[in-house]
Amino acid sequence: MHHSYIAFAIPMFLFFMGVEYWYSKRKGKNFFQFAESVANINVGIAERLMDVFTIVPFYYFFNFIYQHYALLTIEPTWYTWVLLFLATDLVWYFYHRFAHEINILWAAHIVHHQSEDFNYTASARITVFQASVRCLFWAVLPLIGFPPIMISTFLLIHGIYPFFIHTQTIGKLGFIEKFMVTPSHHRVHHSSNPQYLDKNYGDVLIIWDKIFGTFVEEKEQPVYGLTKPINSYSFLWQHFHYVLELAVAFKKAVGFKQKWKVIFGSPNNIDPNIRTALEKVFLRNKVATQPTKAHQHYIIAQTTITLVALFWLVYNYVALQIPTISFTTVLIIISVINTGAILEQQSWIFYLESMRFFIFLYWIWYAYPTFYTAFIILLLVVTIMYYFRPMERSYKKILYH
């Protein structure tokens, strides 16, 4: 049976998150907030899930460009690997810079900057939209003539380093600060301090920022998150609020030129009051109470189960049938949306819980289509529907009070 050993990246990154949490507590530092960390991990779960479906299309996209339009034929040697590293890091710099300067790209990247914590969990805040945009920038590499297998292999390695610069536990690193991106440099990038905005775009090498005039040294304590905090842990809101803001701004814009600026102009030109108005519509059901212990325990258990399901899916993906992949994917997506809704204490959360349970029951019937299975599932469904309101009240009482 074939397995995807890239799945072990999941427990590896979780291990380092745990080590960082343990170290910060030992030093008496409050680098982790419960809801922020869970929301960060949820975004990472969805991104890793979508990677399962996009990694092959991305490879074939690179291969198509390489086979038909490559300007050079580059063979893998030690010095071409070095050239690939420099080219990849330079492309990343411009991708990252444009993702901050152009609205349509910022809509894909903004999720990465929403967390008001700065720790290893924040590094997980990558979306499939951001990955797709990056793929378009990486397309210049096969166009130059780098073979797709070199690019894909290197991108896997290149993606590890940025994880370790999302931390407050490491101070300045002396001589290394001069040429490599360090945690200090990246803390600047994630801050909302006016003097730090739109600085330090580098991924591995900081030299590009120094060459192109976007480097700033960390001096004052950074304040993390967006300049206008999102104030929400909703998985859906985090992903789509800026898209909605652009849609409203586009509708209000008069004339082609103004509409063009909404899509391809600077995020600084989008009226922040648009989000305030949207929040009143989409976040109005939120209940402002502190999570109970049961609330936290349930979220931890649900997130753990979701992570296990993700690991199982990624590890066994090649050997699984399409229905199994589909059911697991839907359950994972519902679970991360569900967790965000629980953190927000939305009034409709029990409906989502029920939907997930019914889909799970249908999966069981699909796997074991016998009369007895159908009878038991039907009995459960009828029972849940009959006692839906009392169960909903009990559910909310446990989690919300």
Q: Convert the pLDDT of each residue in 68-104 to its tens digit.
A: 999 999 999 999 999 999 999 999 999 999 999 999 9
Place of tokens 């927000």: 344
Q: 249 lies in which domain range?
A: 235-282
Residue 346: what pLDDT? 84
Residue 271: what pLDDT? 92
End of a domain among 282, 304, 319?
A: 282
Cα gap 258→260, rounded to integer Å:
5
114 and 43 together in one domain: yes
Report which of 240, 241, 194, 248 is spatially closest to residue 216, judged by C-alpha positions. 194
Q: Is residue 227 part of a domain?
A: no
Whether the pLDDT of residue 6 is over 70: the answer is: yes
Q: Is 368 helix (H, G, I), strand (E, B) or coil?
A: coil
Q: Is residue 105 part of a domain?
A: yes
Q: At what angle do helices 34-69 and 128-138 cross, to 10 degrees?
A: 30
Q: Is 232 helix (H, G, I), strand (E, B) or coil?
A: coil
Identify the burial level of 370 via C-beta atoms within 10 angstroms of its C-beta, where 0-12 means exposed, 13-18 middle and 19 or more buried. exposed
Tokens at 289, concatenated: 């109470």
53 and 172 together in one domain: yes
Residue 287: what pLDDT? 54
Rounded to two decimals, the pTM is: 0.91
Q: Is residue 224 part of a domain?
A: no
Whether the pLDDT of residue 1 is over 70: the answer is: no
Mean pLDDT of the region 368-392: 92
User: Could you read off the pLDDT of 268-289 as tens digits, one per residue?
Assistant: 999 989 999 999 888 865 555 5
More confident residue, 285 or 182: 182
Q: How confident is the model at residue 212 (pLDDT cuts 50, 70, 90)?
A: very high
Look at the chain and report how many structural domains it folds into.
3
Residue 285: what pLDDT? 57
**Least confident among 102-116, 182-196, 383-397:** 383-397
10 and 29 together in one domain: yes
Handedness of CA 310, 311, 312, 317 (dihedral sign): positive
Tokens at 245, concatenated: 């803001």
251 and 298 together in one domain: no
Cα gap 266→48, rounded to integer Å:
29
Instruction: Report yes or no: 264 and 104 within 8 Å, Cβ to Cβ.
Output: yes
Percentage of residues in the chain having pLDDT higher than 70:
98
More confident residue, 291 or 8: 8
Residue 184: what pLDDT? 97
* Helix/strand/coil percent split, the chain, to 5: 70, 0, 25
Q: Is residue 220 part of a domain?
A: no
Mean pLDDT of the region 292-316: 93
Q: Whole-number mean pLDDT of the chain? A: 92
